[in-house]
Structure 1
Amino acid sequence: MATLLPLLFSVLVALAVVLAMRGMDPARIYAMVPRAPSFWIVFAVFYLAGPLSEWAIFHRLWNLPAGGLVPLLRKLVCNELLFGYLGEAYFYTWARRRRAMTAAPFGAIKDVAILSAMAGNGVTLFLLLAVVPFVSAGDLGLENDSVLVSLGVVLVTSIAAMFLRRRIFSLPREELGAILGIHLLRIAATTILSAVLWHMVLPHVPVASWLLLSTLRLLVSRLPFVPNKDVAFAGLAVFTLGHETSIAALMTMMASVILLVHVLLGLALVALDVLRHVSGPAGAEEAGHP
């Protein structure tokens, strides 16, 4: 059964790619994106920030080789095209088959996922405190009740994790601190890079305004009980920058580009899986694949 799991994940990714491509117009996306190489360089760093930060974490914990970036990319595609945390399940099956690298992968993967959520919650709480005056005044288009309930959930889960940390976490305290720091750096990097990308598309808008909007987007995306997050963020964008038409086109373009990259990466990973299975166990072992 364990040998069939990687193939099962590949089939699921392939199905997700087919479903995603049904509602996509690559020609329209291509017409919208900038042609400047600098845009794609920044986009690549933005896109890879998550997998690279996780590689740094697991390299620290397990001495993960450079080839370990491939299963981390597959983890990203599984989470984005299929279901959240399905990627963690895949990565666990991948790591479990490498006992020379780690004998107990579950505890580390669990701790990394929980710390990622805690880092996001901490940033959300900080941002909520910063925008409370605007929410109270109704200027940002967010419902007070939704924000308060979301704040309560974030607080309760964060406090519970702190009180139960000795039962929840299995890694040493110094490792937990280092992992939390890497997660915070990743959140800061992606927030700044998204602002830079937006500024490269609409350079007439100051990068400081984009940075504010990127921060607000991070806030809205992590509030669990704010309905219609896209609508709420669109209202924030218009309130902050006042360019309704161009902002809407920009956000549509960026969302489409990110989805297209997920699809292309998923296709590449499925093709790689097919080649490895065709080449047999020797080729799979050589490539570091289960």
Structure 2
Amino acid sequence: MFQGNGNAEVAGMTDYPSRAAHAETVAPLPATERGWAWWLGTVITIAVLMASVWQISQVDFRAVMAMVPVSPMFWLVFALGYLAGPIGDHIIFRRLWQIPIDGFVALLRKLIGNELITGYIGELYFYTWARQRTGMVSAPFGAIKDVAILSAVAANVVTLVLLAIAYPLLGTLKLGLEGSALVASGGIIVAMSSAILLLRKKLFSLPSADLAFVGWVQGLRVVMSLLLTGLAWHLALPDVAVQWWLLLAATRMLLSRLPFLPNKDVVFAALAVFMIGQDAQVGALMAMMASLLLATHLGLGLALVGGEALGWRKK
């Protein structure tokens, strides 16, 4: 989906407003004009609404709420884990574009679009949002592309570290994991990340200092998400030591990014039971967390779509 667009876009995506004068100029859209970016953003918003309505029937909200811990600490950790991505993106785009506070709402829509519809549809929505605000930033495509690529690279780097740590465990447990599959998966991750680094001058649009900043923020986001996921599981099942949950959270991320491993969910469930030893409780916890995440996506998605619909009336 992402292709380099040259260095002509760099200025408007980095040091606003000092570099903006050198960026590729995109004519601002008047508030009353419904241009292509407005229509594309509207189509994505409607798609999120339809996906939300379609998936609501799959969630038993009473059952989910009955399983969720009442501890305020659980809800705080869950909220921080859920918002880790948008918070990291807002920090990044605050530096690149001086993004306003309402940009955080757009980043929430980006997250929900990716989760409810398909990966990178959220980036497309965020592009339309930024494209309509050319007074704030010109030619936003390059920055969004770079941030998305570096997000994947950061996750790959963390995954490789986890693979090196977990290889003795995953290779010896009889869970259908073959050593050759692990090595091949790790090799694919290394090859992809190496190719990105080798082609960075053609792939990336942002200056080196901005790329380094984005990379550090994305890496910190990945690590914090792992820690918060493990802590949330621990708060839900406090009888299990937190270090086991942190190890499981790392293992889940590791398995999710290895391309040659079949039945990843089955393997993760087997690992969870093997390590924790509480089959029924672990299974119920994973089902509860998955349903709670889906319910959060749906609730926020409907609320944000409703807010945007009010904006349509004003236009």
In structure 2, relative to structure 1, the CA distance for the partners of 1:103 and 1:31 (3 Å cut) is same
Q: Does 1:10 find its partner at 2:10?
A: no
Q: Does 1:218 find its partner at 2:253?
A: yes
2:217 is matched with 182
In 1, the alpha carbon distance for the partners of 2:260 and 2:306 equals 39
Q: Does 1:62 find its partner at 2:97?
A: yes
2:148 to 99, 110, 113: 113
* Amino acid corresponding to residue 198 of structure 1 in structure 2: W
Q: Does 1:135 find its partner at 2:182?
A: no
1:31 is matched with 66
* Amino acid corresponding to residue 264 of structure 1 in structure 2: G
Alpha-carbon distance, 1:222 to partner: 1.4
Equivalent position SS for 2:38: coil
Structure 2: 5+ residue stretches without partners:
1-35
2:277 to 231, 242, 259: 242
Alpha-carbon distance, 1:243 to partner: 1.4
* Amino acid corresponding to residue 163 of structure 2 in structure 1: L
Deviates more, 1:215-224 or 1:259-268: 215-224
1:273 is matched with 308
Equivalent position SS for 1:98: coil
2:296 to 256, 261, 275: 261
Aligned residues: 280
Is this contact kept in 2: 1:81–1:262, CA < 8 A? Answer: yes
Q: How big is each residue's C-alpha offset from its partner over 1:92-143, in whole Å with a ceiling of 9 and x where there is no partner?
A: 1111111121112111000000000000111111111112222332355523
In 1, the alpha carbon distance for the partners of 2:86 and 2:138 equals 22
* Amino acid corresponding to residue 230 of structure 2 in structure 1: A
Equivalent position SS for 1:2: helix
In 2, the alpha carbon distance for the partners of 1:171 and 1:274 equals 34
2:185 is matched with 150
Q: Which has the higher helix share?
A: 1
Alpha-carbon distance, 1:10 to partner: 1.5
2:113 is matched with 78
Equivalent position SS for 2:305: helix
1:104 is matched with 139
Q: How big is each residue's C-alpha offset from its partner over 1:38-66, in whole Å with a ceiling of 9 and x where there is no partner?
A: 21111111110100100000001000011
Percent identity reads 48
2:202 is matched with 167
Is this contact kept in 2: 1:141–1:232, CA < 8 A? Answer: yes
Q: Let me know the Cα RMSD of the aligned residues.
A: 1.3
Is this contact kept in 1: 2:38–2:128, CA < 8 A? Answer: no
